[in-house]
Copies of this chain bind each other. A is one copy, B any other.
Amino acid sequence: MNKIREQFEQIVEMKDSDWLIFSSKLIKSEHPKKTILLKLGETEKYLSFIEKGAVRLYIPKQENDLTFGFCFENQFVSAYDSFLSQNPCSYELQTITETTLWQISHKDLQQVYAQTEIGNTIGRLTAESLFLNKSEREQSLLNLTPEERYVSLFTERPQLIREIPLKFIASYIGVTPQALSRIRKRIS
């Protein structure tokens, strides 16, 4: 649980009293691999910190799901758009490996925002950092070829390529599994 505080303190200092209010709301949960954490159409109730494991975000499809994001150890995961708007989610969250989460509910987080000095700052920094992620992603999708995206993924996150089924990575970089298989062959 201290890891969560460490994550926060990388971006903003936190008083012990604030940390206590926040951390008292956190609930630990464990999930086997391939557990669906949030189904299509449900509303996201939690912002979750991943102590251990990996989660993918995807739009379920008849044939191949459209996997558009991954989250790993020491990161937050949530259908954050659904969480913010409290509207039904247009995609699903599923664990890839066995996963341990620390979760705070939407309701409790609103209380933290109201009760702590630092609440809104944390909320702002969280949203800002998520925004930065998405910005990079947009540029990657517009600016790079699938092959270039694969190479940069490969260099930036080699463990991802090793641990995660190719078909998830394929749809993440925006091609079919067959095409990614050929890209791999080309560049190896």
Contact = CB atoms under 8 A, between A and B. Distances in A.
Contacts of A137: 134, 138
Interface in A85-141: 85, 90, 113, 120-121, 123-124, 127-128, 130-132, 134-135, 137-139, 141
Contact of A124 (B59, B80, B127, B134): B127
Interface in A40-82: 59, 66, 68, 80-81
Contacts of A124: 120, 123-124, 127
What's the number of copies of this chain in the assembled complex?
2
Contact of A142 (B80, B90, B131, B141): B141
A179 interface: no
Interface residues of A, number: 28
Interface in A160-174: 171, 174
